[in-house]
Structure 1
Amino acid sequence: MNDDRARRPAASFLALLLLGTAGLAALSFLALSLPAAQAQIPETANTFIVLTPTADACVLEGYPSVNLGGTSDMWAGYDDSRTPPGRIARSYIAFPLPAIPAGQQVITASLRIYHVSTWDFPDSLDHVTAYAVNSAWTETSITWSSAPAWGPAYGSAEVGFEIGSWYELDVTELVRDWVAGRRSNYGIVLRGEESSGPDASWRGFSTKEGDNPPQLVVAYGPPATATPTPSRTHTPTSSATPTATLTSTPTPTSTATFTASPTVTPSATPSATPTSTASATPTSTASPTGTSTSTSTPTATPSPTPSPTPAGVHIWFPLAWKSRWK
């Protein structure tokens, strides 16, 4: 096809071979120092392991019966760059099950892939996503026609046009499912943007036969169950203890309702000093019996004039008495 799309082969690997062991070490150091494409090992992890594939292969829709398990790169996307076109391209990768010791758990898991080839417009991005594979396959026999289906999607990455960088896809939940036995470990399949026509493009990544094979970086450590402080959940109990004693203090006011029923007994005797005694007995408490004594002054006539019996006597208690009766 004649358009503005360019193809970037993995020509940099020829120069890498000339550098020898020192060049490999230098490239490994630079790759590990890349800020956006590396496996981020959390500080909470005690240990991490790096696994390499046991199998990887690319399958092409345009070549449905061709096995590409021995190539040095694998694609993800849509190919219109050759005749006949490869059309949809997907890449399958299998890793061994990581050995997590008893009492430890997977903290993070990252799939790292090294970008070695591109067919796309310059300065463009392709979205590459990792999916769980649903059934078994082998590197030497897998083709487009026999490739297994895939399950849920996990991590993804935006892969640029320029080659020579590591990209990292988060597959933590998938590896946790593998380790826990919730999902069988049939590997991972990479899928790119599978649009044909003007939007067709693909990204190529190194296989285990290449110089920078894929990596599965797993960090594991003890469960982080001891970090939460449950004491914070008990703090609201202090607000749930209202002081209800304030509402019970007005109860002594009921003692102010005294029903005084005095009994006035006039004593009319021929003596010169007739006395009429009225004893007021409060019904509330019998201990402080207040008696009021009224003395009448005799007149010259010997017949006493008894005071009339009142229909009701209002007894006034001084303020000091009220305080004692409470």
Structure 2
Amino acid sequence: MIHTFYAAADAYITSLTPTVNNGKTGTMYTGLDPYSGSIYRNLLRFDLSMLEPNITIQKAVLRLYLTTRYQAGEPQQLDIYRLTAAFEETAVTWDNAPGSVLTPDYTLVDDNNPNSYIDIAMTDLVRDWYTTPADNYGIMLQTTELTNSLLAFRTREYAESAMWPMLIVEYSLTHTVIYTSPVIGDFSYLSTSFVLEGHALETAYTITYDSAAPTAGLAIVEQSQDDDTWAQSTSISLDPGETRTMNVSTPMVYERLSFVNAASAAMTNTVGSTIDVNSNIDNSNETALRYESSNTLLPIDPDTGVMTLAVADTTTIIITAKYLDNFNYFSFEIIAAP
């Protein structure tokens, strides 16, 4: 995934006019002007609060539009320093500018022609800002300031937004799989590594169900953004001893695999008793289920799995994932004895 951030604040400061603010111009300058002996520096800040939680930043690039190179044909060294205090775009001057680290975080020797983009990789710094947002005071751009090194860039005040300073962040979701092993009808699974395909993560599970299990089982994949509220994604049913593979598209942060099955093939209770069929179901993650009885004389609450045995008879209870419209299920018998 790629997110482009335009500068939230930009300005240039100069020793030529140390008390004047230059935060609302369409062009900013950095370097040494040999004619006046004045030094120019750029200040930039990007607001990264739109980045969602639990991501891995793979790459971050600062892109600037170069309009003028005052020493034509000469490569210029451009250094990026992280700021150590905040600045206000409409108030910052040479005299009140914030401090910065002593050594540059990044250095680029640039020989681009005017009216072109300059890209500067600054991945580690952006990762630091993402981890500790309070440290994001922005950056300062400056040259060696020893010779005619003056460069001019467009700012966010310029009319054409395509030339504004921008930070291009490429990232992927950090994906977590949670698995709780059932007590009855144990099974094994193999989860593939997570592969970024476009804007979705693809996860594959290969599941082998215990050949000694008393009934079929139901594998349900659930997804969550916060590891608290879970939504059912897909399910498959497996017979004892069967191996199947589930392929799941997972754009959310968390995913868990729940396996639900019966402890025994049948439950026997006396007529007149009220039972909860969940007592015969292993459901470690307490995923939501739907219940259906094959015998209208022995109805069951489809949401809770509670039923009253009104007559002496037998029924098959069919269990499916509550919020999935499919035909994957497992079942067991209820015997109402006189």
TM-score by length of 1: 0.50
Larger helix fraction of residues: 1
Which of structures 1 and 2 has the larger relative contact order (alpha carbons within 8 angstroms, sep 6+)? 1
Larger strand fraction of residues: 2
TM-score by length of 2: 0.48
For the pair shown, the structure with the greater C-alpha radius of gyration is 1
